[in-house]
Homo-oligomer: A and B are copies of this chain.
Amino acid sequence: MATIPTLHDIYLARPHVYRHLRPTPLYHYAGLSNLIQASVYLKHENHQPVGAFKVRGGLNLVANLSDNQKRAGLYTASTGNHGQSIAFAARAHNLKATIAVPEGANPGKVSAMQGLGAEVVFHGSDFDSARLWLNKVAEENGGTFVGPTDDLLIHGVGTYGLEILEDLPDVDTIIVPVGAGSGVCGTAVVAKAINPRIQVIGVQSAQAPVMQMSWQQGRPVEGKMKTVAEGLATRIPFANTQAIMAKYLDDFILVEDHALEEAVRLLLTHTHNLVEEAGAAPLAAALKLGDQLIDKKVVLVVSGGNISPERLHHILQT
């Protein structure tokens, strides 16, 4: 039975997050507002130290470990924003992070995690085998294995939801990208507790729709996972975030990968921000929603900016 976080959980996370991070900006953009015919704000989680919102969750999780757990260190499997977040949080608290990746993992991302002080270990041919193996290693060593939707991560990332409400208390709609779901769940918990009329909308790629399909059908569904957006690439739905989304999410829409790429270009042109495909998904969703947003105050959560120069070059070329 999954626990549904409360606003109080987010408040408990706050001091742990702000011990190491400052609030990120929420900026209004005239160009995007014209485009959507709404008053459009971006929540700039791409301005975080490792370029994505997840670092808030890592910091909260580490702060809540017992001394024994701290000594035994953290274990996780990821080459993406989750891995960097755990590495950052471990370094901030002077503890050891071990991160499993499959053989041949992206060298740039591996060196980013190593640069943050994490030990990166290569195992197996894909993420599932790396993860299963490291989970066992963690158990043997009494260490903590961190999955992408652990409750304390959701509480930590919910602090950006609070910041949105603090800066723009009369927000009408918040659109959040959904990968494993920690971001949208943290946001929804905060928004619905403070003002249940705030619309919280999730967005995923039509090329990786299992979280959306599971939410829509009310049961776990597996499906294809072919999106270019690493931050949205979920193959198996997560039960705890699905339970929170079932309770709080107003809508959950799918956008095509090519619309994500167009949104990356639009964000570059109108805001001069570098945004990864997942972080651009809320803008793609807002464009798809069309008339539904007219004259509303809309916050698009730019979840991260970690796009490679190669992907960016490709997107600018098309």
Binding site for B on A (CB under 8 A): 22-23, 25, 27, 29-31, 34, 44, 46-47, 49, 51, 108, 111-112, 114-116, 265, 268-269, 271-274, 276, 305-309, 312-313, 316-317
Contacts and interface: CB of A to CB of B under 8 A. Distances in A.
Given A111-B31, A313-B313, A273 B272 contact: no
A305 B116 contact: no
B317 A313 contact: yes
B51 A272 contact: yes
Contacts of A273: 274, 305
A116 B274 contact: no
B51 A25 contact: no
Given A272-B51, A306-B272, A31 B317 contact: no
Given A22-B25, A31-B111, A273-B274, A268 B309 contact: yes
A237 to B, nearest CB: 28
B25 A49 contact: yes
A108 B44 CA distance: 22
Contact of A47 (B25, B31, B307): B25
Contact of A30 (B30, B115, B309): B115
Nearest to A112: B31
Given A111-B31, A115-B30, A313-B313, A268 B272 contact: no
Contacts of A108: 269
Given A47-B47, A272-B305, A316-B316, 9 more contacts: A22-B23, A27-B49, A31-B111, A31-B112, A269-B308, A272-B307, A274-B274, A313-B316, A313-B317
